Chain A
Amino acid sequence: MTETLLTFEDALAGFDPALGLEVHVELNTASKMFCGCATEFGAEPNTQTCPTCLGLPGAMPVVNATAVESAIRIGLALNCEIAEWCRFARKNYFYPDMPKNFQTSQYDEPIAFNGWTEVEVDGETYRIEIERAHMEEDTGKSTHVGETGRIHGADYSLVDYNRAGIPLIEIVTKPILGTGAEAPAVARAYVAHLRELLLGLGVSDVRMEQGSLRCDVNLSLSPSGSGTLGTRTETKNVNSLRSVERAVRFEVQRHAAVLSGGGSVLQETRHWHEDTGITTSGREKSDAEDYRYFPEPDLVPVAPSREWVESLRAALPEPPRERRARLQEAWGFSDLEMRDTVGAGALTLVEETIAAGASPQAARKWWLADLARRANDTGVELSALGVTPAQVAEVQALVDAGSLNDKLARQVFEGLLAGEGSPAEIVAARGLAIVSDDGALGAAVDAAIAANPDVADKIRDGKVAAAGALIGAVMKEMRGQADAARVRELILERLA
Chain B
Amino acid sequence: MPEITRDEVAHLADLARIDLTPEELDHLAPQLSVILESVASISGVAGDDVPPTSHPVPLTNVFRADVVTRSLTPEQALSGAPEVESQRFSVPRILGDEQ
Contact = CB atoms under 8 A, between A and B. Distances in A.
Interface string A3-42: 0000000000000000000000000011100011110000
B94 A144 contact: yes
Given A37-B69, A290-B15, A157 B55 contact: no
Nearest to B83: A156
Interface residues of B, number: 37
A323 B59 CA distance: 41
Interface in B28-76: 54-55, 59-74
B61 A300 contact: yes
B67 to A, nearest CB: 6
A50 interface: yes
Contacts, number: 142
A158 B66 CA distance: 29
Given A30-B68, A44-B74, A46-B88, 9 more contacts: A36-B64, A46-B78, A47-B71, A62-B63, A156-B92, A158-B85, A158-B86, A301-B55, A304-B61
A119 interface: no
B23 interface: no
Contact of B54 (A35, A46, A271, A295): A295
B60 A303 contact: yes
Contacts of A68: 63
Most A CB within 10 A of own CB, among B65, B67, B74, B77:
B77
Contacts of A49: 71-72, 74, 77
B61 A303 contact: yes
Contact of B89 (A64, A65, A161, A236): A161
A94 to B, nearest CB: 5
A94 B15 CA distance: 9
A243 to B, nearest CB: 16
In the complex, the 3 A-B pairs of residues with the closest C-beta atoms, listed nearest first: A36-B69, A66-B66, A65-B63
A341 interface: no
A282 B98 CA distance: 9
A244 B88 CA distance: 32
Contact of A300 (B55, B64, B86, B88): B55
A96 interface: yes
A473 B46 CA distance: 96
B90 to A, nearest CB: 6
B68 A156 contact: no
Contacts of B59: 300
Nearest to A294: B54
22 contacts: A36-B67, A47-B74, A49-B71, A50-B69, A54-B72, A62-B64, A63-B63, A95-B99, A96-B94, A142-B94, A142-B98, A144-B94, A157-B91, A159-B89, A159-B90, A159-B91, A161-B77, A236-B98, A300-B60, A300-B62, A301-B60, A304-B61
Nearest to B54: A295
Nearest to A269: B97
B87 interface: yes
| Band of interface residues on A | 35 or more
Interface string A235-254: 01100000000000000000
A101 to B, nearest CB: 8
B61 A282 contact: no
Contacts of A45: 74, 86-88
A168 to B, nearest CB: 12
A112 to B, nearest CB: 16
A275 B67 CA distance: 40
B44 to A, nearest CB: 21
Nearest to A167: B66
A30 B66 contact: yes
B62 A157 contact: no
Contact of B98 (A29, A38, A62, A237): A237
Contacts of B99: 93, 95, 97-98, 139
A302 B60 contact: yes
Contacts of B92: 156-157
A85 B67 CA distance: 25
Interface string A287-319: 000101011010111111000000000000000
Interface in A220-238: 236-237
Interface string A159-183: 1110000000000000000000000
B64 A64 contact: yes
A67 interface: yes
A313 to B, nearest CB: 18
B60 A283 contact: no
B22 interface: no
A87 interface: yes
A450 interface: no
Contacts of B98: 142, 151, 236-237
Contacts of A269: 97
A361 interface: no
A159 B88 contact: yes
